[in-house]
Structures are given as C-alpha cells and as structure tokens.
Amino acid sequence: MGLNLEELAVEDYTEAKKKIILVEELESESQLIGKLIDEVKTELDGFNKCWLKYLKNNDPDSLAEAAKIALNARILASDALKKARSVDLNKGLKVVKALLVLVFVLFAVYVSSHWYWHLPWFEGNIWWEIVFFSLFGVLTNLTYSAAKHVLMKDFDKWHLGWYWSKIPQAPFVTLAIILILRSVSVEALGIPLDLGEASNEVLVAIAYILGLFSRRAWELIERIKDWLLPVPSSSKDLAGEKQ
C-alpha cells in the first residue's frame, strides 16, 4: 500500500513539473496563468518538504500529505497548460477590431437611414429603434469585455462562439422583454412603471441597457419562463426524491 502511494506521489509530482515547464515555455504573459504557475511551484515546494520528512522519518502522515499536494499540483498544472494553450492575444485583438467595425457600421446605417428618410431621432419605427439600440448595447459590452481580456493577456479563443452568439441573441431577447413589460405593470425601487405609456426615448434607453447587460436580460427571460411555464408539481416531487 505504501509503495503504491509512493509511486502515485512521484508520478503526480513528475507530471506536474513537466507540465509547468511546458507552460513556461509557451511564454504567456497572462496574469491568470502567471498566478497558476506560482501556485503550482508553491505546491511543488510543499511536496519536497513533506517528501524529505517522509524519507527521513518514514512518517506515513508525511507521505499522505506529499501525495495529496502532488495530486493538487498536477491538477493545477494541467489547468495552467490548458489555459496557456488557449490564450491567443492576436486573435483577441482581431475580435476587438471586428467589434469596433461592427459598431461603426451599425452607427453609420442608423444615422444614414434617419437622414435619408428624414426621420426624427427615436421617432421612426420604434421596433427598429429597439433592435438598433439593443445591438449598440451588446456590442458595447462585448467590445469592452474583449479589450479587457486582451489587456489582462488572458483572451481565450474558445470563447469566440460565445462572443458571436450574443450579437443575434440580444435583439430578440430585448424585443421579448419589452413586449412583455409593455403589457404588465412592474415596480422598480418601489416606483411603479408602466411601459405601455412610455415614450420612445425611454424604450430605446431600456433596449440599450438590456443589450448592454445581455446576461442579466437572459436571466430575466428565465424568470419569465418559470412564471409562464412553471414546473409541474409531479416533476418537483420527483426532483426532490432524487436529491
């Protein structure tokens, strides 16, 4: 039993050391990965102390602690290597530039359409105004988020699908929420709000906010779903039995 534990401890320690060397060779400047590297090195130092204590005193508790530390170091090193390989700052910069281009193109379309058809601001088809400003909101959010990750040097290329899926999602979620809120009375900070009588400017501002905070808008849709389509009591009972 002791021999098996020794072998596991040495194997985990060796793998953790190999992986952390690979991470350092990738030369990532990500603060997050740098923190993980430091954590792994701290764990490896802790392993060495426990291992030397075990070898000196043949202490089974020290061996168990060394094996535990080595396993944790291996897990942390694997996580660091995975993140280091996924960081792609050049791709992150391209995403930021693409989002900025989308913002400028959308703004140009919005301004030129109002100018071409001589539409007063916020007085065109209100639903198109809502779509435009929800897109402005989500693009603002995504551009800030992507630029922040590039600045922190931890832009993850595997999140690209999430970035692009948010753009078409935002206007549909925003339209659904505003349609519902225009039909029911809500209360915010103790103040009753009736969007059925709200001005176009207010609706446009709400559309921008819902696009800007698209994740919270999605959570609101989830709450509305639970309100409109509550889980049947039989399903709740079944879930409770499984727990």
Question: pLDDT for 181-237, tens place per residue?
Answer: 887 766 655 656 667 777 888 899 999 999 999 888 988 888 888 877 787 766 555
Instruction: Give the sign of the dihedral formed by CA 113, CA 115, CA 117, CA 121.
Output: positive
| Rounded CA separation 195/185 (Å) | 7
Q: Is residue 236 part of a domain?
A: no
Same domain, 220 and 107: yes
pLDDT at residue number 236 = 52
Same domain, 78 and 131: no
**Structural domain containing residue 24:** 2-86
Which of 34, 66, 86 lies at the terminal end of a domain, its last residue?
86
Which of 64, 86, 108 lies at the terminal end of a domain, its last residue?
86
pLDDT greater than 80 at residue 54: yes
Q: Is residue 24 part of a domain?
A: yes
pLDDT at residue number 194 = 67
Percent of the chain with pLDDT over 70: 88
| Rounded CA separation 149/91 (Å) | 11
pLDDT digits (tens, 9 = 90+) for 81-129: 888 777 777 788 889 999 999 999 999 999 898 888 888 887 768 888 9
pLDDT greater than 70 at residue 3: no
Q: Determine contact, residues 161/95, Cβ cutoff 8 Å.
A: no
Same domain, 42 and 127: no
Q: Determine contact, residues 201/129, Cβ cutoff 8 Å.
A: no
Single pTM value for the model: 0.64
Same domain, 131 and 26: no
Q: Which two tokens stand for residue 187?
A: 């209360």
Which of 65, 86, 107 lies at the terminal end of a domain, its last residue?
86
Same domain, 62 and 136: no
pLDDT at residue number 186 = 64
Domain count, the chain: 2
